[in-house]
Amino acid sequence: MGKKKPRPRRSFTPEFKAEIVELCRRGDRSIRQVAADFDLTETAVRDRVRQADLDALAARLNNRPRKCLGYRTPAQCVALTL
């Protein structure tokens, strides 16, 4: 049996990625169904959802004021040093 040709690497817009995450979080379709509907691999969809969760957590932590920073957020402190 011959090897299958690998699919060319595709790139997607941030809006498309956000739509995929939203469809998965809505709960009316499984990750497998969303992947099949958009001709994506399940792994790619799972990774995108996981990354969106991590991005949301990082944003929440980086935008929380800290007492040790004079009740400023880490982002504000970085902006002051630039």
In this prediction, residue 3 carries a pLDDT of 82
Question: Does a structural domain hold residue 2?
Answer: no
In this prediction, residue 62 carries a pLDDT of 81
In this prediction, residue 42 carries a pLDDT of 95
In this prediction, residue 43 carries a pLDDT of 96
The model's pTM is: 0.74
Question: Does a structural domain hold residue 74?
Answer: yes
Question: Does a structural domain hold residue 63?
Answer: yes
pLDDT of 1 over the 70 cut:
no
Structural domain boundaries, residue 73: 14-81
Count of structural domains, the chain: 1
Please say whether the beta carbons of 66 and 74 come within 8 A: yes
Question: Does a structural domain hold residue 51?
Answer: yes
Question: Average pLDDT of 54-61?
Answer: 91
Question: Does a structural domain hold residue 23?
Answer: yes
In this prediction, residue 6 carries a pLDDT of 83
